[in-house]
Amino acid sequence: MVIPDGVRRTLVHHLFWVKGGSILLNSPPHDRRDAEDGCAMQKPVIFTISATWDAEASVWTGHCDDIPAAADAATLDELLARISAMALDLLPDNHPDLDPASLFLQITALREAEPAAAA
Protein backbone atom coordinates (compact mmCIF):
# COMPACT_ATOMS: atom_id res chain seq x y z
CA MET A 1 0.00 0.00 0.00
CA VAL A 2 1.31 3.44 -0.91
CA ILE A 3 0.62 6.18 1.62
CA PRO A 4 0.57 9.68 0.08
CA ASP A 5 2.99 12.33 1.35
CA GLY A 6 1.66 14.26 4.32
CA VAL A 7 -0.78 11.51 5.34
CA ARG A 8 -0.02 9.50 8.45
CA ARG A 9 -1.65 6.17 9.14
CA THR A 10 -2.15 4.39 12.40
CA LEU A 11 -1.69 0.64 12.51
CA VAL A 12 -3.25 -1.29 15.36
CA HIS A 13 -2.36 -4.91 15.96
CA HIS A 14 -4.05 -7.11 18.58
CA LEU A 15 -4.11 -10.82 19.32
CA PHE A 16 -7.11 -12.42 20.97
CA TRP A 17 -7.78 -15.96 22.09
CA VAL A 18 -11.23 -17.37 21.39
CA LYS A 19 -12.15 -20.17 23.78
CA GLY A 20 -15.58 -21.72 23.91
CA GLY A 21 -17.27 -18.56 22.69
CA SER A 22 -15.37 -16.27 25.08
CA ILE A 23 -12.84 -13.72 23.91
CA LEU A 24 -9.78 -13.59 26.14
CA LEU A 25 -7.13 -10.90 25.90
CA ASN A 26 -4.38 -13.05 27.37
CA SER A 27 -2.51 -15.86 25.70
CA PRO A 28 -3.32 -19.52 26.28
CA PRO A 29 -1.59 -21.37 29.13
CA HIS A 30 2.12 -21.84 28.41
CA ASP A 31 2.10 -25.56 29.08
CA ARG A 32 -0.48 -25.92 26.30
CA ARG A 33 -3.01 -27.46 28.67
CA ASP A 34 -6.39 -25.97 29.30
CA ALA A 35 -6.44 -24.42 32.76
CA GLU A 36 -10.00 -25.63 33.42
CA ASP A 37 -9.80 -29.31 32.58
CA GLY A 38 -6.10 -30.05 32.05
CA CYS A 39 -6.63 -31.45 28.53
CA ALA A 40 -3.87 -30.99 25.99
CA MET A 41 -4.55 -28.26 23.43
CA GLN A 42 -3.86 -28.28 19.71
CA LYS A 43 -1.16 -26.01 18.37
CA PRO A 44 -2.61 -22.47 18.25
CA VAL A 45 -3.98 -21.38 14.89
CA ILE A 46 -4.04 -17.66 14.10
CA PHE A 47 -6.54 -16.13 11.69
CA THR A 48 -6.04 -12.48 10.73
CA ILE A 49 -8.91 -10.02 10.53
CA SER A 50 -8.04 -7.09 8.27
CA ALA A 51 -9.95 -4.00 9.36
CA THR A 52 -10.15 -0.48 7.95
CA TRP A 53 -12.00 2.59 9.18
CA ASP A 54 -14.71 3.89 6.85
CA ALA A 55 -14.94 7.56 7.81
CA GLU A 56 -18.03 8.23 5.68
CA ALA A 57 -20.02 5.44 7.33
CA SER A 58 -18.28 5.82 10.73
CA VAL A 59 -17.70 2.07 11.02
CA TRP A 60 -14.86 -0.41 11.05
CA THR A 61 -15.17 -2.85 8.20
CA GLY A 62 -13.29 -6.11 8.49
CA HIS A 63 -12.87 -9.45 6.82
CA CYS A 64 -11.06 -12.72 7.40
CA ASP A 65 -10.53 -14.91 4.36
CA ASP A 66 -9.54 -17.93 6.47
CA ILE A 67 -12.97 -18.25 8.09
CA PRO A 68 -14.43 -16.74 5.64
CA ALA A 69 -16.29 -13.86 7.29
CA ALA A 70 -16.89 -10.13 6.90
CA ALA A 71 -18.66 -7.57 9.08
CA ASP A 72 -19.00 -3.90 9.93
CA ALA A 73 -19.13 -2.42 13.43
CA ALA A 74 -18.85 0.91 15.22
CA THR A 75 -15.87 -0.24 17.32
CA LEU A 76 -13.04 -2.74 16.97
CA ASP A 77 -14.39 -4.63 19.99
CA GLU A 78 -17.77 -5.02 18.30
CA LEU A 79 -16.09 -6.09 15.07
CA LEU A 80 -14.07 -8.70 16.95
CA ALA A 81 -17.20 -10.00 18.69
CA ARG A 82 -19.10 -10.32 15.40
CA ILE A 83 -16.31 -12.07 13.51
CA SER A 84 -15.52 -14.28 16.53
CA ALA A 85 -19.12 -15.47 16.60
CA MET A 86 -18.97 -16.17 12.86
CA ALA A 87 -15.67 -18.02 13.25
CA LEU A 88 -17.04 -20.32 15.92
CA ASP A 89 -20.21 -20.97 13.87
CA LEU A 90 -18.33 -21.65 10.62
CA LEU A 91 -15.35 -23.54 12.07
CA PRO A 92 -16.94 -27.02 11.95
CA ASP A 93 -17.82 -26.61 8.26
CA ASN A 94 -14.67 -24.88 7.02
CA HIS A 95 -12.04 -26.29 9.39
CA PRO A 96 -13.46 -29.54 10.82
CA ASP A 97 -10.12 -30.69 12.26
CA LEU A 98 -9.51 -27.44 14.16
CA ASP A 99 -10.29 -27.37 17.88
CA PRO A 100 -12.08 -24.07 18.72
CA ALA A 101 -9.98 -23.83 21.90
CA SER A 102 -6.84 -23.40 19.77
CA LEU A 103 -8.24 -20.55 17.64
CA PHE A 104 -6.68 -17.08 17.86
CA LEU A 105 -8.01 -14.03 16.04
CA GLN A 106 -5.56 -11.29 15.20
CA ILE A 107 -6.83 -7.86 14.14
CA THR A 108 -4.77 -5.66 11.88
CA ALA A 109 -6.54 -2.29 11.75
CA LEU A 110 -5.71 0.71 9.60
CA ARG A 111 -7.08 4.19 10.22
CA GLU A 112 -5.92 7.63 9.18
CA ALA A 113 -4.38 9.44 12.13
CA GLU A 114 -6.26 12.42 13.53
CA PRO A 115 -4.42 15.72 12.96
CA ALA A 116 -3.07 17.41 16.06
CA ALA A 117 -5.08 20.36 17.33
CA ALA A 118 -3.55 23.76 16.56
CA ALA A 119 -2.02 25.45 19.58
What CA dihedral angle connects 90, 94, 97 and 101, to 10 degrees?
-30
CB 106 within 8 A of CB 89: no
**CA–CA distance, 66 with 69 (Å, rounded to integer):** 8
CATH code (residue 64) = 3.30.2390.10
DSSP state of 95: -
Q: What percent of the chain has pLDDT over 90?
A: 53
**CA–CA distance, 26 with 12 (Å, rounded to integer):** 17
Contacts of 7 (CB under 8 A, 6+ apart): 112
Q: Which residue has the higher pLDDT, 14 or 80?
A: 80
Quick check: is 33 in a domain? no
pLDDT in tens, 10-49: 444 455 555 544 454 444 444 444 455 555 556 889 999 9
Strand order in the sheet with 9-19: 22-24, 9-19, 103-112, 45-54, 59-64, 69-73
For residue 100, give the 3-state DSSP assignment.
helix
Quick check: is 37 in a domain? no
Total domain count, the chain: 1
pTM: 0.65
Instruction: Quote the mean pLDDT of the chain.
Output: 77
Domain that holds residue 53: 16-21+43-112
